[in-house]
Amino acid sequence: MGAIINFSVNLDNLDKSKIVKGKKGNYYPLTLSVNDEVSQYGDNVSVFTTQTKEEREAKAKRTYVANGKVVWTDGNISAVPREEQPAVAEADDDMDFPF
């Protein structure tokens, strides 16, 4: 295991139009960012709604839904090689969200 990260999601900030219906439930695309520096509140993790390529290119404002902190790490987190990713519902069908 590379790290344990604690955070809480503000459900009121979720854009309901981004919910993806999958074979086994509904999914919400999130991106988690671990920062090198700690904020004034002691957090170094941000969670925001995943942006589409078009939103990123248009420099659209991110919708932040959570902040948190890395509470443990073994100091060895590996990056996954970049490649074309399948749709969220196809990739994460076995995940279960309560909404």
| Tens-place pLDDT, residues 50-95 | 999 999 999 999 999 999 999 999 988 888 887 765 555 544 555 5
Q: Distance of alpha carbon 94 from its chain centroid, rounded?
A: 17
- In angstroms, the CA 62 to CA 48 distance is 7
In-domain check, residue 79: no
Q: How many domains does the chain have?
A: 1
The DSSP code for 4 is E
> Residue 91's pLDDT is what?
47
What is residue 98's predicted lDDT score, i.e. its pLDDT?
Answer: 56
**Cα gap 27→25, rounded to integer Å:** 7
What is the residue range of 50's domain? 3-70
Q: Which pLDDT score is estimated for 85? A: 57
15 in a structural domain: yes
Specify if 78 maps to a domain: no
In this prediction, residue 1 carries a pLDDT of 74
> Does residue 83 form part of some domain?
no
Show the tokens assigned to 33. Answer: 């960012």
pLDDT value for 95 = 53
Report if residue 89 sits inside a domain. Answer: no
User: Residue 82: inside a domain, yes or no?
Assistant: no
